[in-house]
Amino acid sequence: MKRLVLAALLLSGCAGISTAPVPQAARLTNDLLTVTLTDATVCRADWAKAGGAGHLDGCGLGYDYSVTVDQHPNILRQWMVELALALRADQAVPPLATVVLTDAAGKSYTFTSPPPAAE
């Protein structure tokens, strides 16, 4: 009987453990980085104004971020960007980039933006 009670206490203790939210998605516009955490928290930063790197305060435990824009996209994407610029719809085509978020412990989360198409 004591073992059963002990096992129940151990299991109930494990059920109460909650983990800190982690990045689930990162998306870019021409100037804004939007990060969504696993607890549905949404954080934003002006990555372009920050020069492509900075810190997301108030976003879970806080994350450093870096944005690396693909400087040599394929020809079709280059054409889409040029068309959007000609139509003055530059926000219609977000930059093609890699976003790396790093927590205080040094764990990194890497995302591509825009995210790959679902298969």
Is the whole model's pTM more than 0.85, yes or no? no
* C-alpha to C-alpha distance for 50 and 55, rounded to whole angstroms: 9
Count Cα neighbours of 22 within 13 Å in the Cβ-side half-sphere.
13
Does residue 35 surpass a pLDDT of 90? yes
pLDDT band at 20 (very low <50, low <70, confident <90, very high): confident
Neighbours of 50 (CB within 10 A): 15
* C-alpha to C-alpha distance for 50 and 9, rounded to whole angstroms: 49
Nearest to 65 by CA among 29, 24, 102, 111: 102
* C-alpha to C-alpha distance for 82 and 93, rounded to whole angstroms: 10
